[in-house]
Chains A and B, each alone.
Chain A
Amino acid sequence: GEDVEQSLFLSVREGDSSVINCTYTDSSSTYLYWYKQEPGAGLQLLTYIFSNMDMKQDQRLTVLLNKKDKHLSLRIADTQTGDSAIYFCAERGMKTSYDKVIFGPGTSLSVIP
């Protein structure tokens, strides 16, 4: 079935790197996304990766995709207090509906000054 899993909490010190992990079950996934949600706000797309890529880098963000293990990670370099938020992994696949995006439960990132 459709399932996206993430660890629920992560705490890091300011200036360190954060790594948020995600696993998914749909092998037909075409796009995988990372969204950020700050308190009281909607979701903001941070980055995405197409399923035929292994890695994507965008400034402080690095996305790694292991398609064989269905594992996705988001690395945030030089984590700042403004990065404190909930991060959602999401996948879009062909198995159910091409236009349906399945979200994980979110990882709450706390950055300690």
Chain B
Amino acid sequence: DTGVSQDPRHKITKRGQNVTFRCDPISEHNRLYWYRQTLGQGPEFLTYFQNEAQLEKSRLLSDRFSAERPKGSFSTLEIQRTEQGDSAMYLCASSLATGFSNEQFFGPGTRLTVL
């Protein structure tokens, strides 16, 4: 399968714990995006990378959130001191910068539940 993959698919944690999610984009894609989706809402943009450079961060991305893409391939999203309000589906997408429509291909998401 050469699509976008995310790991883990589900994560249950206690409030105050740190969690880290991983995203593996489509191999030739140089852009990688993180979104958060809560029930009944569309995905909300969090941040995106072009290669290893983080080019934009949303105001939604508080200081407790950090994302990295150290070698321009896979990316990690870490949430420190989780809060119940962090419970959501975290989606990763990738795209090719030179693509005509910049079509973003989405992974299946990581569902986070903070107890």
Residues of A within 8 A of B (CB): 4, 8, 31, 33, 35, 40-45, 48, 50, 88, 90, 92, 97, 99-106
Residues of B within 8 A of A (CB): 4, 31, 40-45, 48, 55-56, 91, 93, 101-109
Determine the distance from Cα of A33 to Cα of B93 in the docked complex, in whole angstroms: 15
Pick from B4, B45, B56, B109 the residue with the most CB of A within 10 Å: B45
| B-side contacts of A106, CB under 8 Å | 40-42
Instruction: Tell me the interface secondary structure of chain A in the complex.
Output: strand
| A-side contacts of B91, CB under 8 Å | 42-43
| B-side contacts of A35, CB under 8 Å | 106
| B-side contacts of A4, CB under 8 Å | 42
Nearest B-chain residue to A88, judged by Cβ: B42
